[in-house]
Structure 1
């Protein structure tokens, strides 16, 4: 594919992968071709005058004119950009199209000889730091990462728990809390639930980071900042911890659900919301919905699962009957072959027989709530 770039035309691009590799010089093109060959899920763009004859066969996009005109389209469609152009030129070209670190792609610059790989933009949220290290490893080059938390080997507040799917309740305090972490002020990490293996460095945790099992314990430290990991809705008196704190929601809640055939998605979702509110649990901490295999095609249930992008798992009656139930039902057994649906499904999916809610029936929906525990 070949593009003729003109000042008044937004060029089409050939998006197949998550990453774009871009070059404009002869040596840069050779390096870009090497990266394209070794780096999975990437697309390659370079100038037509450096064509080598195999571009169409390999799905490489050629262009003519100013590479600057490519960047708005690349920014809109790729997760990361690997650019083999001088750092200063790249900075000038992308400056007018920068929007926000939460939406801009990760940008990595490689020098023309492939000796240095530099993380330029969206180091954490855009994944540029990790991309830098991956590309550097491929080229046997030196990775240049200047983000303070990476250099100091401490907690990257904006990435904390991201690999596990943890969500922020709010990003309002990300910057000041990050400042407290890298400036070695007293910082507490309160973890009530979620994965425990979040420390990502091969060095000991810095002395300014204190691990606490409760908010009361954390407040006793009189910290400058806090990272709070819990599925609970905080009590009003606990919210003082968030004065300079970030609240993370780990994916630890399993909803076991049974419902009558044809139950509307709106009713199912409302029962879920009401139940979690009663239990003082955040919807953001829901990881999956579990049920019986008879409900694997239940339209309303599937609609709710898709809407929230939750995992969906179902079990056979024989699997459900392996669990000893607090409230077995002969009526349910008569229609399904299982002595219960929501209760054993929540147990099986959470790996925990001690449920936060054994069973509640509301209208056409029965719900149980399980908690995934991590040692």
Structure 2
């Protein structure tokens, strides 16, 4: 196998601000008595401690107004534990909430430590687990109100993240949970067992029915479609959720000056026509001669994928089904998109062979390793 490509990593951003690194836990208090409890919790959790100026020691983070300090630091931490009245926290946190898949978890605790309330981000934000952890530290009671937890049902959003699966419509976690709460049996298509065995290990197998193949899938029932292929169209939009492993890579050939919009539209079109889940795309690959194309790099960022660049010599070593003499004259290799896809996937089989568009070509392959581009870095 030839030496790997150069890669560029995508950055994570919240709104317009790029976040380089999130800290883990912030602990807040407002009263003198609350500060004593917050110091104990912060020490046990290894957290950053925020206290009012009049109570803060030199090694603690002072603030004048909670209503201004909390919003300023909200997205700098994964978890917030507030020893404060729930009302003031609710008023501060409400305008900050954007998306439950990225919002930090917030726990509110009374100054006696009797109740640790999971306020925001119970599952994906980790607030439920944090409330339990804080309650153990204070000898109090964790207050969890998410219906799946109180009913002993699986948190599908957390489990999907644990298994490295991307939801095509995250808003459908809620109707699926509602179906489970109503006692419906949810069908699961999972031919490669990304999800099913874990459900059974957790003791939830009797709430689900595994369907063996696409032909057995019932379009009018709630279900989990776990595959790198796209689920079929659903009449009436029932509670059907696609969970997709990030295993598809795409090789791209493009003319100079091609726009971000053209690339994104072409990729979407090829994936749609071939029944592939765009959420499973993890990387784009192309020839090094296109490394300066801003449209390509911005398209990769917009799609949420990495981009890798191969030298012409690397690409030329790969046998492909559709070589091109024109490509050889232009960039020094008979194949760009197919060769790049095969190199990225470390395979010799394409899921989608070279597809031509205006100024663009695309090929798709399925990778079998679990590391993506990390092998090349």
Task: Report Cα offsets for 1:37-67 as digits up to 9, x if no partner.
Answer: 6657x64321223222334xxxx12336xx5
Structure number with higher relative contact order (C-alpha < 8 Å, ≥ 6 residues apart): 2
How is 1:6-21 mapped onto 2 (pairs within 5 angstroms)?
17=23, 19-21=25-27
For 2:42 and 2:369, how far apart are their aligned partners in 1? Answer: 39
1:167 equivalent in alignment to 2:167: yes
> Is contact 1:194-1:251 (8 Å) kept?
no
Instruction: Say if 1:263 and 1:101 are closer, same or farther in 2 by CA, change over 3 A.
Output: closer
**TM-score normalised by structure 2 residue count:** 0.73
Task: State the Cα RMSD in Å.
Answer: 4.0
**In 1, are the aligned partners of 2:26 and 2:50 still within 8 Å (CA)?**
yes
Kindly state the Cα deviation for residue 30 of structure 1 after the two structures are TM-superposed: 4.5
- CA distance 1:206–1:357, shift in 2 (3 Å): closer
The change in CA–CA distance for 1:270 and 1:218 in structure 2 (over 3 A counts) is closer
- Distance in 2, Cα, partners of 1:116 & 1:318: 64
Distance 2:178 2:184 in 1: 9
Q: Aligned to 1:49, what secondary structure does the other structure show? A: coil
List runs of 5+ in structure 1 lacking aligned partners.
Answer: 1-14
Cα distance in structure 1, aligned partners of 2:197 and 2:64: 43
Quote the Cα distance in structure 1 between the aligned partners of 2:196 and 2:331.
Answer: 40
Q: How does 1:24-173 map to 2 (within 5 A)?
A: 24-26=30-32, 28-33=34-39, 36=42, 43-55=48-60, 60-63=61-64, 67=66, 79-85=78-84, 89-90=85-86, 92-96=87-91, 98=94, 102-103=99-100, 105-110=104-109, 112=111, 117-132=116-131, 139=137, 144=142, 146=144, 147-150=146-149, 154-163=153-162, 164=164, 166-169=166-169, 171=171, 173=172
Question: d(CA) in 2 for partners of 1:210 and 1:359?
Answer: 38
Match of 2:259 in 1: 264
C-alpha displacement of 1:257: 0.5
- Going from structure 1 to structure 2, the CA distance change for 1:200 and 1:47 (only over 3 Å counts) comes to farther
Q: For residues 73 and 140 of structure 2, what CA distance do their matches in structure 1 show?
A: 25
User: Aligned residue for 1:326?
Assistant: 321
Paired residues of 1:110 and 1:118 also in contact (CA < 8 A): yes
CA distance in 1, matches of 2:139, 2:245: 36
TM-score normalised according to structure 1 size? 0.73
Structure 2 distance, partners of 1:339, 1:350, is 19
Is contact 2:264–2:303 with CA below 8 Å preserved after alignment?
Answer: no
1:4 aligned partner: none
* C-alpha contact 2:121 2:127 (8 A) present in aligned 1: yes
- After superposition, the Cα gap between the structure-2 partners of 1:16 and 1:341, relative to the gap in structure 1 and judged at 3 Å, is closer
Equivalence for 1:229:
226
What secondary structure does 1:129 align onto?
helix
1:366 Cα deviation (Å)? 1.8
Larger CA deviation: 128-137 vs 153-162: 128-137
Structure 1 residue 322 displacement after superposition: 4.8
Q: Distance in 1 between matches of 2:285 and 2:133?
A: 37
Q: Could you say which residue in structure 1 is the equivalent of 2:218?
A: 219
In structure 1, C-alpha distance between the alignment counterparts of 2:180 and 2:248, rounded to whole Å: 29
Q: How many residues align?
A: 344
